[in-house]
Structure 1
Amino acid sequence: MENVCRARGEFDDIRPYNDDEVALAMRRIAQSQWLPQLAHFVFPEQNAQDVARMLQDISTAREFQLRVMYHFNREVMRRSTTQFVCEGLEQLQPATPYLFVSNHRDIVLDASLLQNALVDAGHDTCEITFGANLMTHPTVVDIGKSNKMFRVERGGNKRQFYESELHLSRYIRHAIVDRGSSVWIAQRNGRTKDGLDRTEPALIKMFALSGTGNKLTSLAQLNIVPVAVSYEYESCDLLKAREMAQATHKPYVKQPGEDINSIITGISQPKGRVHFRVTKPLGAAQLEPLAHLPLNDAVRQVALMIDHAIIDAYQLMPTNMAAYAMLHPEGPQNAQWDEAKAWLSQRLQQLTTDEERRHLLHIYANPVAAKQQIKQS
């Protein structure tokens, strides 16, 4: 208990709320000026006063997730998806904590929708990384930290970035190894914009350095589980295409409120079919054979393992196949992709330049190319 208390103090700057802090957060959310809008979305058949009273009865993070966030996710699925499937959870043990390393396409939903799938399959929910750049309003902080989300610092100089990443990885190890709580983290810093899902080796290195002793054994203790998230209609696709086109000419600088706009767009934009696949954990049998390699080489190999697992598990949609066919008209064509081609053509018309249109097609086509590459490797 002494070690746990010490660790809690060590991580107070980034950790989620403890249960004794959740009750106070619920009262603040109930009094927030945002409550009517939030209540209308999550509980469309209830009035804001009833939702406020319900919030003030909540005193734990688990209650908040089951009584509020579970219904939020169900509303997102009802309003903006035609199908939601999560496969592979039967490979996991309910009592075992895991580190879910996921490709990252939507700021909120990649992790949030997985929570519902975990609950439906009889697993506990996981803790979730939450970028400090998104913690811009007290109500957002209260919702996030009550939802088992923990802070990830962005920016700073090279030394500050290294220290914050190591601090983060130590907290993740503490959550998994000491407290038995699963954790979700994206495979890279920020969302995939170009449709190519790649794991940052530096992230894996931080996980290895967060423990003691053999670094590959240290990684195996985290029970890494690659997760592939696939959307039929890519979250914020037009916004991503415009950003990439601008970034080819000069460094892209976010505008005030841009992240919040991306969150709202991702939640409300039609997503069509949504497919999650949870792959097999990377255990000692997969990791320890790399122990003879220098650390940097070993973590690159682990990153490639995660990449291959995610790419292999990625569910290609007609939009992916249609975009690839549009970029490669000399290749195979299929009448089954015609509807998706028509939809993509309409999306292309909403963009201004040929460069933006090219980026949009690559967002959808690149997962096809990635699958072809791993088959050839």
Structure 2
Amino acid sequence: MSETDLVNDPYQEIRPYRDDEVGEVLTSLIYNDEFVRAITHYQFPRLSEWMGWVLRPIVRIALAARIGDVADVHDFQKLVADYMAKMISRTTTRMTCSGIEQFDEEEAYLFVSNHRDIAMDPAFVNWVRYQYGMSTVRIAIGDNLLRKPYISDLMRLNKSFIVNRSARGREMMTALTQLSSYIDHSIQNGHSIWIAQREGRAKDGNDRTDPALLKMFYMSQRKQRSFSEAVERLNIVPVSISYEFDPCDASKARELAAKATSGAYEKQEFEDIDSIVKGITGNKGHVHVAFGEPIRGQFDTPEALALEIDRQIYTNYHLHPSNLAAAGEKVEPAEQAKFDAHLAQVADGPEREIMKQMYANPVFNRRRAEGKV
């Protein structure tokens, strides 16, 4: 990238694609053999093993026809919405939300969300906003998930921007300052943002905001205003996303059990991609997205702000029968039986206890936040 490009478009390396870039990116995807192979395997998992050479050209033609009318980001997101509607009908029993009526479409918000599923958390936030006729959000996604160029292209077509987690030393400070500046730039220019409250999913069911994330928000503003002024300017809204059943709960329990017994867990090369697919296609039961209130008032430190974000996430978290049953609270016999059957998918022992605790922790966190424990 030339110095001129950096001056004219300082966020070019991390920002979502613009409308005028969509056509070229889609064309490159159609001719990306690895992408076509992945789509073929997803649609025809068995046949693709021995008939892939026949299926891939057909899939390529079908893709070209499907995206032929996509001219801009909005068109692409309408395409995504069609797939979302099918996914929701197949993998959820209910999809609900609360708190969305308070938002002013003329304002931009920084949605700081708990994080349970890599792809579906921001997708569900976007879905409910889309259903209410609101603009979709820009989504923060770690570069650790973008090892394949076609995945990066797909995410950036869908209004995702890149969080450079692989940077080290001085390069890390530069990347964090750029990210901080981009988030502020987006909010000030009317584009809402979704970002997870910490790096990585809350695999044990404990949703806790990392103050380091909040320090990053301030990095590009520290010479112009106080931390409290920066918080007010960013229009932060905590978001609680709750799944009756987590499609990745068994694999999360295995990982946590391995760490508890051996002190380490070695992630496979494309394990994150497998988790994304499982999160999209797996049974979720009832899913609820709860929007908190925009944070106002005096917050002088990231730690104080983190406590307020956590308080709203805990108290707004929708407790499903699965959560209540795991915490030992009384639920209908049918709901208890359903949860017990779900637990039985992992072997009796440490993994099952970890998975049970995973569902119980939101109950305990909410009770503490409400002063009931």
TM-score (norm 2): 0.87
Partners in 2 of 1:91 and 1:250 — Cα distance? 45
Partners in 2 of 1:39 and 1:22 — Cα distance? 24
The 5 Å alignment of 1:316-335 reads 316-325=319-328, 333-335=329-331
The 5 Å alignment of 1:56-135 reads 56-66=68-78, 68-135=79-146
Partners in 2 of 1:362 and 1:162 — Cα distance? 37
Give the unaligned 5+ runs of structure 2. Answer: 46-58
Aligned residues: 349
Residue 23 of structure 2 is matched in structure 1 by 23
Which segments of structure 1 move beyond 6 Å, counting only runs of 4 or more?
A: 37-41
**CA deviation map 1:241-286 (0-9, x unaligned):** 1111111232322111100110111111100000001111113xx2
- Partner SS state of residue 150, structure 1: strand
The offset of 1:35, in angstroms, is: 4.6
Residue 209 of structure 2 is matched in structure 1 by 199
The offset of 1:112, in angstroms, is: 0.8
Mean alpha-carbon deviation: is it higher for 133-142 or for 121-130?
133-142
Partners in 1 of 2:174 and 2:337 — Cα distance? 48
Residue 186 of structure 2 is matched in structure 1 by 175
Query: Which amino acid in the other structure matches residue 287 of structure 2?
Result: V
Residue 373 of structure 1 is matched in structure 2 by 368
Q: 1:172 to 1:250 in 2, by over 3 A?
A: same
The offset of 1:351, in angstroms, is: 2.3
Mean alpha-carbon deviation: is it higher for 364-373 or for 250-259?
250-259
The 5 Å alignment of 1:220-235 reads 220-235=232-247
Partners in 2 of 1:341 and 1:167 — Cα distance? 49
Q: 1:226 to 1:40 in 2, by over 3 A?
A: farther
Q: 1:48 to 1:272 in 2, by over 3 A?
A: farther
Residue 210 of structure 1 is matched in structure 2 by 220
Query: Which amino acid in the other structure matches residue 207 of structure 2?
Result: D
- Partner SS state of residue 243, structure 1: helix
Q: 1:355 to 1:140 in 2, by over 3 A?
A: same
Partners in 2 of 1:40 and 1:350 — Cα distance? 26
Mean alpha-carbon deviation: is it higher for 209-218 or for 354-363?
209-218
**CA deviation map 1:317-366 (0-9, x unaligned):** 000010111xxxxxxx5251x33332333333332461111110111000
Q: Answer yes or no: is 1:151 the counterpart of 2:183.
A: no
Residue 44 of structure 1 is matched in structure 2 by none
Q: 1:252 to 1:38 in 2, by over 3 A?
A: closer
Partners in 2 of 1:363 and 1:86 — Cα distance? 22
Partners in 1 of 2:367 and 2:8 — Cα distance? 46
Residue 264 of structure 1 is matched in structure 2 by 277
- Is the contact between residue 27 and residue 55 of structure 1 (CA under 8 Å) also seen in structure 2? no
Partners in 2 of 1:224 and 1:342 — Cα distance? 39
The offset of 1:164, in angstroms, is: 2.9
Residue 52 of structure 2 is matched in structure 1 by none
- Is the contact between residue 15 and residue 160 of structure 2 (CA under 8 Å) also seen in structure 1? yes
**CA deviation map 1:88-107 (0-9, x unaligned):** 11111011111111111110
Q: 1:335 to 1:347 in 2, by over 3 A?
A: closer
Q: 1:139 to 1:156 in 2, by over 3 A?
A: closer
Mean alpha-carbon deviation: is it higher for 357-366 or for 54-63?
54-63
Q: 1:85 to 1:48 in 2, by over 3 A?
A: farther
Q: Percent identity?
A: 36
Partners in 1 of 2:42 and 2:254 — Cα distance? 29
Q: Answer yes or no: is 1:349 the counterpart of 2:344.
A: yes
Partners in 2 of 1:349 and 1:40 — Cα distance? 30
- Is the contact between residue 105 and residue 235 of structure 1 (CA under 8 Å) also seen in structure 2? no
Query: Which amino acid in the other structure matches residue 20 of structure 1?
Result: D
The offset of 1:192, in angstroms, is: 0.7
The offset of 1:165, in angstroms, is: 2.8
- Is the contact between residue 206 and residue 361 of structure 2 (CA under 8 Å) also seen in structure 1? yes
Give the unaligned 5+ runs of structure 1. Answer: 42-46, 326-332
- Is the contact between residue 85 and residue 276 of structure 1 (CA under 8 Å) also seen in structure 2? yes
- Partner SS state of residue 370, structure 2: helix
